[in-house]
Amino acid sequence: MILVNGLPGEHIRVFDRGLTYGDGVFRTLLVRAGRSLCWSRHYDKLYADCAALGMMCPPEDILAVEMANLIAEAPDCVMKVIVTRGESQRGYAIPEHREPTRILMASPAPQYPANYLTDGVRLHLCSTRLAIQPLLAGVKHLNRLENVLARREWSDPEIAEGLMLDMDGNVIEGTMSNVFLRQGKTLHTPDLGRCGVAGVQRQRIMEMAGRLGMTVFRVENLPLARIYNADEVVLCNSVFGVWQVRELAGKSWQAGNLAARLRSLLDDECD
């Protein structure tokens, strides 16, 4: 269930800069009953991320048509969209004439344990720190070694996700998710202007939290202690939605309903 530049196949050439330099971006979204959830938002973010790297982004209609072809075969799946800067010979310089490479992959949705939604999840505190790089901050690019190294830190299947700090010790994100904490009627989420990936569900929560009577603040410095002292902590991404955090490195939280409330918001229409 893969299209590479619109054609069925599962290969790219070794000259592709996505391989040689990680020179590209990607998106992961959920397809349910034939609908690609929040596609417009995902495309806008894909486009913005391409622009951040000075790359051309394939037109929305081309990706939409190709995605529809895959969805016809896989109406419930996880869709991954990779766009690279295309091919070049050896060397970092970017040739003038080149076409981005687009790869669409439909995979089965992951089967997380049912109690992640009912009881919340346990987190590992990663020792792998995120480097400060404002030029790449927020962008979901293909240079993901920090996430790979962080994910290698635990193998306990009871642990759902790892929490990552930046070099200064501020909480930034999960290895594959964004993080919010609630203090009273206020939600806080790390500012991602120096590192981290700014996800679509994070953006939606920031826009919609007012409907729960909550205010949201982006926080530049969110030391770990702020997490430990939070009333509730949740994670979000486009595949699993929202998870309540019940344990992080020895600290536990009572069962809360913030994740459930945010899930009900995110279940709203999103095209």
Site residues (vs a second copy, CB under 8 A): 2, 4, 10-23, 26, 28, 53-54, 78, 80, 82, 84-85, 89-94, 103, 105, 107, 110, 128-129, 131-133, 135-136, 141-152, 167, 175-176
The 3-class SS string of 179-239 reads: EEEEECCEEEEECCCCCCECCHHHHHHHHHHHHHCCEEEEECCCEHHHHHCCCEEEEEECC
The two three-digit tokens of residue 178, written as one number: 């964004």
Q: CB of residue 14 vs a second copy: minimum separation in angstroms?
A: 5
CB 244 within 8 A of CB 261: no
Other CB atoms within a 10 A radius of the CB of residue 34 amount to: 12
DSSP 229: T
Residue placing its CB nearer to a second copy in the complex, 221 or 257: 221
Residue placing its CB nearer to a second copy in the complex, 16 or 232: 16
Is residue 111 classed as helix, strand or coil in its secondary structure? coil
Q: CB of residue 146 vs a second copy: minimum separation in angstroms?
A: 7
Angle at 250 between CA 249 and CA 252, to 5 degrees: 110
Residue placing its CB nearer to a second copy in the complex, 53 or 259: 53
Q: CB of residue 187 vs a second copy: minimum separation in angstroms?
A: 26
Q: CB of residue 250 vs a second copy: minimum separation in angstroms?
A: 23
**Euclidean distance between the first and final Cα of the chain, in Å?**
23
Q: CB of residue 251 vs a second copy: minimum separation in angstroms?
A: 24
Instruction: Report the alpha-carbon distance of residue 238 to residue 201 in Å, rounded.
Output: 6
Residue placing its CB nearer to a second copy in the complex, 52 or 206: 52
Residue placing its CB nearer to a second copy in the complex, 148 or 225: 148
